Structure 1
Amino acid sequence: MAAAYFQRLGEGRFRATEHTGGAWEPDTQHIAPALGLLAHVVEVDRDRRRDDTLVVTRLSYDILGTVPIDEVDVDVAVLRAGRTIELVEAVLAAHGRPSVRLRAWLMQRRDTRDLSGSGHPGLPGPEQTEPWDATSVWRGGFIAGAEVRRDQQAPGRARVWVRTSTDLVEGEPVSPMSRFAGLLDIANGMAVRADPAEVLFPNIDLTAHFFDQPRGEWLGLDTTVSFGRGGVGLTTSVVHDETGPVGTSSQSLTLRPR
């Protein structure tokens, strides 16, 4: 197997490898690497078009269906051009069917270090958090390739660190932002509220806001999973790098008892 989630076949065309194998169905992709791929192509498109300091500040994904472990196509379009703010859309399609849609806001970077701060509490670092074998709960190549450290505090409540040595796209440099984007979706399975053998709870979307650009290898997640009474759930996380909180993410869940 290639030591990457995707191999580039050409402009806007990629082949998924076995490393993308899903947690719910191992013969379809775990959606996490695809989310990272879309963030990456948005940043690649940005760098081709402009040479200034626009950075990704919001990633809003709609998951339109399952994605086979096969070739996929990605298209990028600027929906709102601007000198200091842009809205960019990227769509991933498999076999001609759109599967994931991303809308990303990009903003001009400015020096606001004197104003920086957050009320979100920090996390114990990865060295202070016990390793956890996520394959004890989840299947698939993506989970098997993730290094996880977890402090499970209660059902649906956990503090987690995760990283991977698997490249996002074979042979291509990838920013820390896109690398983080390729791990964010793991949050829904890290603070398990119910046994996935008894209840399906896949997410249909993911939205992440960043007030600081992430750095380093480790993604930290301070995660809470909530199940409602009408078949809907929500996974929310404060997103960290090793320096502290950098943003938030949320995932809408569809609850389906087996």
Structure 2
Amino acid sequence: MFPPEEKSPLTTDSYYEPIDEHRYKPTAHVSGAWSTDEQHFSPLGGLIVHAIDRHLATRPHTGLLLSRISFDILGRLALDECEIRVETVRPGRTIELIEAVVLIADRPVVRARAWLLAAVDTAAVAGGAEDRLTPPEKLAPWSMSSLWPGGYIASLDSRPLAPPRPGRATVWVSTPLALVAGQTSTPLASYVTLVDTANGIAVRQPPTAWMFPNVDLTLHLHRQPEGGWAGLDTTVTFGPTGQGITSTVLHDLRGPIGHAQQILTVRPLPGA
């Protein structure tokens, strides 16, 4: 069940402020890394999950868990108010498919599809996950703002397990900000708010000379996340014809929870 709304006043200590039931206004903390007049996709991804959670909360609890979600980024994410429309595409008692569409200025800019699967007790056969990461309280902070601009990156507490190197990094990320002012988000929505950060922690080439934005993000989860930290164990590969992949093993403080993949369009910056 979706947590009840808090009755606290609106504050800028959040990524979004609600306008009505389906529309949200981004704050300065959402501004992007590739362009500071656009939204970073990471908080928008969390907002989409937040909207899906609210959609599911309008009906009886089904016991289904969001187990895979894919986001396709269709266009420029202007730093402007957005509307999120959510519908159930394939209802079911044990498997369900939800679709969400984000509109900015009445144009679709993101389309997301989420598979919900039945919650079943499989603890007796659980296994196969990797080891836990060194916890963040034992690690020193790293200022990602030295590499990337924008309000979103500036909002993060980032703690690498070792100095990031080209194409490889393992970093804990967290934020003190709420996702939506005056509303409580589920642990999953709060976690997804941080996942798209993965494409910026293990850069293969300087972002001042090369562009490598992702046009999608897909998460597969074998366990629901807990706590306020996202552990991103990330590998970035560039191919020879303009495509790249950012692959991440996702962790929370208890251990691995799943995987994320991002496809990149790799190209030199004009004049660089």
> What band does the TM-score fall into relative to the shorter chain?
over 0.9
1:142 matched residue in structure 2: 152
The answer to whether structure 1 residue 176 and structure 2 residue 187 are counterparts is yes
Residue in structure 1 matched with residue 253 of structure 2 by the alignment: 242
Offset at residue 102 of structure 1 (A): 0.6
Aligned CA-pair RMSD: 1.1
Say whether 1:13 aligns with 2:23.
yes
Tell me, in whole angstroms, the C-alpha distance in 2 between the residues paired with 1:171 and 1:101: 25
Could you tell me whether the CA contact under 8 Å between 1:92 and 1:99 is conserved in 2? yes
Question: 1:33 maps to which residue?
Answer: 43
Shift of residue 195 of structure 1? Answer: 0.4
Gaps of at least 5 residues in structure 2 are 1-10
SS in 1 for 2:198: helix
Q: Flag as ranges the 4+ runs of structure 1 deviating above 3 A.
A: none
TM-aligned CA deviation for residue 153 of structure 1: 5.0
Whose strand fraction is larger, Structure 1's or Structure 2's?
Answer: 1
2:132 counterpart (119, 122, 139):
122
Partners of 2:15 and 2:213 lie apart in 1 by 21
Is the 8 Å Cα contact of residues 161 and 219 (structure 1) preserved in structure 2? Answer: yes
Equivalent residue letter for 2:116: L
Give TM-score scaled by structure 1 length. 0.97
* Counterpart residue number, 2:264: 253
SS at match of 2:19: strand
The match for 2:117 is: 107
Amino acid across the alignment from 2:96? E
Separation (CA, whole Å) in 2 of partners of 1:119 and 1:169: 32
Partner of 1:236, secondary structure, is: strand
Which residue identity is paired with 1:208?
Answer: L
**Aligned-partner Cα distance in 2 for 1:99–1:129:** 37
Residues 1:157 and 2:157 aligned together:
no
Would the aligned equivalents of 1:147 and 1:163 in 2 still touch at CA under 8 Å? yes
Residues 124-133 or 224-233, more deviating: 124-133
Q: Secondary structure at the match of 1:127?
A: helix
- Cα distance in 2 for partners of 1:117, 1:152 equals 30
Helix, strand or coil at the partner of 1:222: strand
Paired with 2:167 and 2:138, the residues of 1 have a C-alpha distance of 21
SS, match of residue 47 in structure 2? helix
Identity fraction in percent: 44
Of the structure 1 ranges 124-133 and 211-220, higher mean CA displacement relative to structure 2 is found in 124-133
Deviations 1:173-215 (A, max 9, x none): 1111111111110000011111000101100000000000000
Corresponding letter in the other structure for 1:167: A
Q: Which letter does structure 2 place at the counterpart of 1:81? A: P
Asked if structure 2 preserves the Cα contact closer than 8 Å seen for 1:152 and 1:191, the reply is no
1:243 Cα deviation from its structure 2 partner: 0.5
- Contact 1:118/1:245 (CA < 8 Å) preserved in 2? no
**Residues 211-220 or 2-11, more deviating:** 2-11
The structural deviation recorded for 1:121 is 3.5
> How many residue pairs get matched?
258
